[in-house]
Structure 1
Amino acid sequence: MGLFSRDPDSGEDSDGDGTGMLQQRGLVAGAIVVVALILCLVAFFVLRGGSGTPAATPTETPRTAEPTDQPTDEPSGPPATPDPTGSTTPRVTPPPANNTVGGCHVAKPPQAIPRYYAPTAVTWQFDGAMLIPLQVAGGPAATRTNGVKYCFAHSPTGAVLAAMVLLGQVQNRSIALDVLKERVVPGPGQVRAIAQAKADMQTPLDTTSVQFVGFKVVAYPKDGSQAIIQIASQLGDQGVGALLVTMQWSKGDWRAVLQDDGSFNGTVEPDILSSLNGYVRFSGSS
C-alpha cells in the first residue's frame, strides 16, 4: 500500500496512433521528467543531511545532556500499590522454606502499618487451591514437615502475612487440622474449630474458588500484642467478601484468636464489598 504501489504515470507506454516522431518526442520528454525527478530526489536527501543512506561519520559531535535530564531517585508522583502479578513487577526469588534471617528471627522489624501500600518483595504460592503470600522479611520463615508454615515478624506486616497464610492453609483439608492445632491460640474456640473441621472432612469439598484480593489493618496497638485485620477475598462469582481476623502475639509468633463458636468473627457474616476502597490491594491471582 502506498510505499510500493505503481504510479500509472511512471513511464508505461500508452495506446495511440502516434507517428515515429511523436514517439521520439515522447521519449525525450520522458527522459527530461526522469532526470528532473532524480535531481529533486538528490536535492531532497541533501537537504535532510543524507538521511536516505547511512553516514560514514557523524556530521556533528553529540552534545552532553544537561544534568536535569539525568534520572533521579526522587519519585515524580505518589507510587501505586504494588501488584505481585503485574507484568511490570520484578520477579522475586521465592524465599526458602526455612531460614534464620527473616520472620520471627528479626529482632526489630519495621513497625509501620501498611495502610496504603502492599508489602513488597512478596511471592505467591499455591497451598491447596489458594495462593498465599511469602516474604523473607515478614515470613513465614519456617515450614514444618507436615506443611504448616509459621515464624512471622512481630510487626503489622508480619501480622497481615500470618493472617493470610493461616486462612489459606486452613482451607487445605490435608493440613487444616494441624493448622488449627498449631496456629490458633488455645481455648474453647480452638476446640470447637477442630471438631468442626473433622466433621467437614466427611462432607463434599466446596469447589468455590477463593482468592485474596486485599486487606485493611483495623487495629494494631503500640505494644504489638494484637492485630485486628480485615481480609478481603474474591468468592468465585459471588463477589468480594471481607472477614475480620484477630491475631495475637503468643509464644514468639502470630496466632489466630477464634470466637467460642470456633469461627473467626462469631455470628457476624462476612461483609460483601461493593468496592475495595479503603483496602490495600494485595493479590497473587491475575
Structure 2
Amino acid sequence: MSENEDQSPFGRGFVAACIVIGAILACGGLLIITGLSSDASSAPSPASLPAPAGAGSPIDPGSPVAGGPATPAGTARSATPGSEDPAGDSGRDGVSRCGLPDGDQAIPASAPAVDGWEVTRRVVVPRSTAYGPGKVDADGFRRCFAHSPTGAVFAAYNTIGAIADQRKAVATAGKLMLPGRDTVALIRELRSEPVSDSSDSAQPVAYRVLDASRNRATVMLAMPVETAFVSATLTLAWYDGDWRVVPPPAGEAVGAPFAQRRDLDGFVAWSGI
C-alpha cells in the first residue's frame, strides 16, 4: 500500500469523504445493489449477450441477459487490436455506434487532449471529437466513446456526471450499465425506491488506468474532498459499440473499493476546473 494512501479506511477524513462521494456513488439507492442475488457460475459471458434494441434504451427488467464478473484490477497494460477478450463484445466487430475511430490503443500516460470541458449535471466532464461523447441525449446523458483506453477514460469521467442526478437514476442505469442480471435487478430496486432530490456531486480531477484490454478497462478516478482525495474504481466493458459500466457484485456500490488519498501520486492529473 502506498504511503499516500491511508492505512485505515475508517479515519475521520475517510468518513467525510464517503459522505460526499457516497451521495452519488452509493447512498440513496443510486447505483448500489443491496440484497440482490447474482449467480455468476451460471451466467453466460458478455460475448453471448444480445444487443439491445437501442443504445439509449432502458433495459427491460424481464430480459434474461446476464453480465459477467468484473476483471480484477492489475498492472496497467496496452490494449492491442488483436487481443482476445470476450468481455463487452459489441456484436459489431468493435465498431463505435457513432463512427468514432478506435485511435491509439496505448494507455494514456499523460492528460489527453480535449476539445473542451462541459458541465453536465453539475460535474465538469471532457469532450472530444476523437474520443467522445459522440452523442448527447435529450435528457443530457452523454454516450458513444472511442474504442480505446483513452475512450474508456473519457467514458469514466462522464459516468460521474451521469450518476450525479438521482432523479434520473432509472433511466441512467439502463443506459449506463452493462446489460445483465445484476443490472436488471438494480433497475427493479431503483424503481421500488422513492425518487431522491439530492443534487450532490463529485468532481474527478485525476485518473489511473489500472488495466486495459481491447474490450475492457478498469479506471480509478480521484476526487477532492476537503484537503485530501477519495478514489473510486470503475470497470467498463465494450458492448454494442460503446463503453458500459460493469455492475458491482450484490451488496457493493459502483465505484468500490473507495480509498482516501493524501495526494495524487500515481495518478494523471486531468481536470477542467
TM bin, normalised by shorter chain, reads 0.5 to 0.7
Tell me if 1:272 matches 2:222.
no
Amino acid of the structure 2 residue aligned with 1:111:
Q
Q: Distance in 1 between matches of 2:158 and 2:247?
A: 16
| Partner residue in 2 for 1:249 | 238
| Partner residue in 2 for 1:112 | 106
Deviation at 1:130, TM superposition (A): 1.1
Is the CA contact (8 Å cut-off) linking 1:134 and 1:140 kept in structure 2? yes
Q: 1:281 aligns with which of 246, 269, 272?
A: 269
Deviation at 1:122, TM superposition (A): 3.8
Q: Distance in 1 between matches of 2:257 and 2:168?
A: 25
Tell me the TM-score normalized by structure 2.
Answer: 0.58
| Partner residue in 1 for 2:124 | 131
| Partner residue in 1 for 2:147 | 154
Tell me if 1:168 matches 2:151.
no
Deviation at 1:134, TM superposition (A): 0.9
Deviation at 1:257, TM superposition (A): 0.3
Question: Percent sequence identity over matched residues?
Answer: 28
Local SS of the residue matching 2:107: coil
Q: 1:227 aligns with which of 200, 217, 222?
A: 217
Amino acid of the structure 2 residue aligned with 1:205:
S
Tell me if 1:212 matches 2:187.
no
Deviation at 1:106, TM superposition (A): 2.9
Amino acid of the structure 2 residue aligned with 1:230:
M
Is the CA contact (8 Å cut-off) linking 1:246 and 1:264 kept in structure 2? no
Deviation at 1:199, TM superposition (A): 6.1
Deviation at 1:263, TM superposition (A): 2.6
| Partner residue in 2 for 1:188 | 181
Is the CA contact (8 Å cut-off) linking 1:148 and 1:169 kept in structure 2? yes
Is the CA contact (8 Å cut-off) linking 1:166 and 1:179 kept in structure 2? no
Q: Distance in 1 between matches of 2:161 and 2:193?
A: 16
Q: Distance in 2 between matches of 1:205 and 1:146?
A: 17
Is the CA contact (8 Å cut-off) linking 1:176 and 1:197 kept in structure 2? yes
Once superposed, what is the RMSD of the aligned Cα atoms? 2.4
Amino acid of the structure 1 residue aligned with 2:210:
V
Amino acid of the structure 1 residue aligned with 2:203:
Q
Tell me the TM-score normalized by structure 1.
Answer: 0.56
Q: Distance in 2 between matches of 1:135 and 1:200?
A: 36
Q: Distance in 2 between matches of 1:103 and 1:216?
A: 26
**Structure 2 runs not aligned, ≥5 long:** 1-95
Distance 1:143 1:219, change over 3 A: same
| Partner residue in 1 for 2:229 | 240
Local SS of the residue matching 2:117: strand
Q: Distance in 2 between matches of 1:175 and 1:204?
A: 10
Q: Distance in 1 between matches of 2:153 and 2:193?
A: 27
- How many pairs align? 177
Distance 1:136 1:118, change over 3 A: same
Amino acid of the structure 1 residue aligned with 2:219:
I
